[in-house]
Amino acid sequence: MITVTAQQLQIFAGILVPAILSPGPAVIAASQSAFALGRARTLPYAWGLAFGASLWCAVSLLGLTIIFQTLPWTYTALTVLGGLYLLWIAWKMWRHAPDPLPDPAEGTGGISFWGGVTLNLSNPKPALFYSSVLLSVFPLSLTVLDKVAIYTTAVSVEMIFYTAVACLMALPWPRRRYYASKFWIDRGAGLLIGLLGLTLILRH
């Protein structure tokens, strides 16, 4: 039996959309892949990123939120680790901003469905987000069908978003702009991700 309401699911999706839109390593990775490799090569990678992010929702539904409630220090620890991870990503982007774009014909072993899954599973930020939102939007007591409905909403929103990123960023105009301004775009993105990481750490 489903006990969550359509309104709760809409609120959940409404919170999820702007959170995904915020600068993050997965969005940057999908965008840069689309710029360099085009839509067809990037779509499987984008879908992997979406599925990997949605798995954090599944993990949260299966009990991560309970762990956070029972042992509050685990939430703080995961937040700090997530912030450090984002700082590492930011440093890599800043340092490699002068590097040329990869050749589309080579060096794309990680640009695959499973490469996308791995990238988002290596980033604990979605776990923090999903756990927080689930606790604030839905009741603690959820049926199996409730969890299926919530997960289906999450994976649908993630898939739609990352598909849109792969398609839009592969269009000729944004690709030309990126080629012309790669250094400053990468430096700016690295700075934004670094600020997000610092924010995560300093909040605790």
Cα diameter, the chain: 55
Given a cut of 90, whether residue 28 has pLDDT beyond it is no
pLDDT in tens, 144-164: 899 999 999 999 999 999 999
pLDDT band per the 50, 70, 90 thresholds, residue 32: confident
SS3 content of the chain, % helix, strand, coil (to 5): 80, 0, 20
Does residue 140 contact residue 8 with C-beta atoms inside 8 Å? no
Does the pTM exceed 0.75? Answer: no
Rounded distance between C-alpha atoms, residue 18 and residue 160, angstroms: 13
